[in-house]
Amino acid sequence: MTGLGGRHRDKRSFALRLAVLASVAALLAGCGSFGGEKPTPQPIVPASAPKVAPAPTAVSQEQARIAAAYGGVYSKPDLVTLLNSVADRLAAASERPDLRYKVTLLNSPLINAFALPNGNLYVTRGLLAVANDTSEIAAVLAHEMAHVTARHAFQRADEERKAVLVSRVVSDVLEDREAGAVALAKSKLSLASFSRAQELEADRIGVQNIARAGFDPYGASRFLLSMGRQSELRSAALGQKPSQPGLDFLSTHPSTPERVQLAVTAARQIGAPGVGERDRDAYLVALNGTTYGDDPAQGFARGRRFLHPRLGFTFLAPEGFTFENGSEALLGVAPDGRALRLDAARLGSSQTLESYIAENWIDGVEPGPVEKLEVNGMDAVTVVARGKEWTFRFAAVKFGADVYRLIFAARELTPDIDEGFRASLATFRRLTQAESEQAQPLKIEVATVRPGDTEETLARRMAVTDRALERFAVLNGFAPGDPLQAGLRVKVIGE
């Protein structure tokens, strides 16, 4: 969340944002291409931010758009060199050795990887944090390369054009908009099945390719399993139930358990476990020092506190909240269904906070009286708006030329819950220069297991307090009960 994305001025756009807040739990779930997370665009990071290189001017508009949408290009030369060497090795062993690939590392904590038809492969640092050896990374890259060689992007684009054409013919030519909508819905179901088949085909081709290149073919199933466990951990941290497959999920991916089983089956056709190269140590050495989670240039959370050193503010969420940072806004959820949203707007030249708040209301809610207050030396207003199912506490804080909007939501706004919302608003303040300078990202650190170490002792070394033991196990691909051998290298989260 760099500029907090949207300086929305009209009532309709703001209404849409509040509607999004009311369904924030659904918005926080999703998936990416190989990865298990929705490809939500990440904040555009300023060129001055550490470890983020600006997109080269010679790249295509599409490549530049992708880099910007995922926080920019992340600069870690040794890691990028390893990724490209794996891609070269896979290309040489593939059915199309004439094709060349280039891997770009993106500065996003999301778990995602995808490919363009021209051979450009993109991998997020969030995905690399979940992987544990070169064979798992090879599986990710081989999967995306399979999409290119199988021309899946072209095939899907053709199917989408057909779907739109059918709906337009029914809607415009036959002058039946309702039937056109039904036709489009049916086409989306067909596209869901079509994309699902493509993902499974890419998995199968990828497993065969990594085996031909000399990597462990079981790397694909291990990574898919870790990805599924990471998704479950993320849902638990956000207070959500594990997401159930639905139309949106099936529009891009089959379920992870199905993919794991098919990947294992494909690997068994090649050989028993233990064949092929894994090279865990080489991978972890290259990964060591990589940023983990949000980059401070994009704003980041430490427990319930959110800090944005570049924009110069901080605030503390109510008890029980977990943050999800995005390009449009900062979102937060609590296990009991409470939600919050923080974004920014710009006042008109003659607009006051009171007039601004009166002009930006969601349809279907009844705002109460506007209350003027001061929040740590800044002018602010707040008001409660009651809707059919949700009640919102909306606050606008004047921060320089901008207005920061904190929107809290609860299905039942009890006095205790509202007291927590108001207490959170009261913590919104400017960061000191020292605080901004001291804000550092979390990093992946590689440690060596010593005699006597356990998962518990290593988890206590993690610079996170929320579910540290679970995070340590998922981060390292450990199943419950796996023994720790002295001398093994493992990942921990440090500062």
Instruction: Round the average pLDDT of the chain to a whole number and report it.
Output: 78
CB atoms within 10 A of CB 480: 6
Instruction: Write b or e for each residue in 86-110: b if 16 or more Cβ atoms lie within 10 A of its Cβ, otherwise e.
Output: bbebbbebbeeeeeebbbbbbbbbb
Tens digit of pLDDT for each residue in 334-357? 988 899 999 988 888 788 888 887
- Could you identify the residue written with the tokens 């099936």? 250
Tens digit of pLDDT for each residue in 416-444? 999 999 999 999 999 999 998 888 889 99
Long-range interactions of 381-390: CB distance < 8 A, separation 24+: 381/353, 381/354, 381/357, 382/422, 382/425, 383/357, 384/413, 384/418, 385/361, 386/413, 387/22, 387/362, 388/364, 389/22, 390/22
Distances (CA, A) of 128 to 80, 94, 139: 11, 23, 12
Whole-angstrom distance, CA of residue 196 vs CA of residue 202:
10
DSSP 274: T
28 pLDDT above the threshold of 50:
no
Whole-angstrom distance, CA of residue 78 vs CA of residue 68:
22
Encoding tokens for residue 204?
């199968």
**In this predicted model, which residue has the larger pLDDT, 333 or 253?**
333
- Could you identify the residue written with the tokens 């090279």? 279
Out of 127-131, 256-260, 322-326, the most confident range is 127-131
CB distance 36 to 28 below 8 Å: no
Instruction: Write b or e for each residue in 5-15: b if 16 or more Cβ atoms lie within 10 A of its Cβ, otherwise e.
Output: beebeeeeebb
Q: What pLDDT does residue 322 have? A: 87
Tens digit of pLDDT for each residue in 250-287? 334 455 788 888 899 999 999 998 889 999 999 999 99
10 pLDDT above the threshold of 60:
no
DSSP 305: E
Whole-angstrom distance, CA of residue 167 vs CA of residue 178:
10
Whole-angstrom distance, CA of residue 31 vs CA of residue 35:
6
| Residue 346: closest CA among 406, 309, 398, 307 | 398
Encoding tokens for residue 272?
């028993």
Q: What pLDDT does residue 178 have? A: 53
CB distance 142 to 83 below 8 Å: no
> How many Å separate Cα 446 from the centre of its chain?
23
CB distance 429 to 458 below 8 Å: no
Confidence band for 49, pLDDT divided at 50, 70 and 90:
very low
Rounded to 10°, the helix 256-268/177-212 angle is 30
Whole-angstrom distance, CA of residue 155 vs CA of residue 162:
11
Choose the weakest-confidence range: 72-76, 121-125, 212-216, 295-299. Answer: 295-299
pTM metric for this prediction: 0.72
| Residue 472: closest CA among 452, 438, 449, 441 | 449
User: What is the 3 state secondary structure string of 15-61?
Assistant: HHHHHHHHCHHHHCCCCCCCCCCCCCCECCCCCCCCCEECCCCCCCH
DSSP 482: P
Average of per-residue pLDDT across 169-186? 46
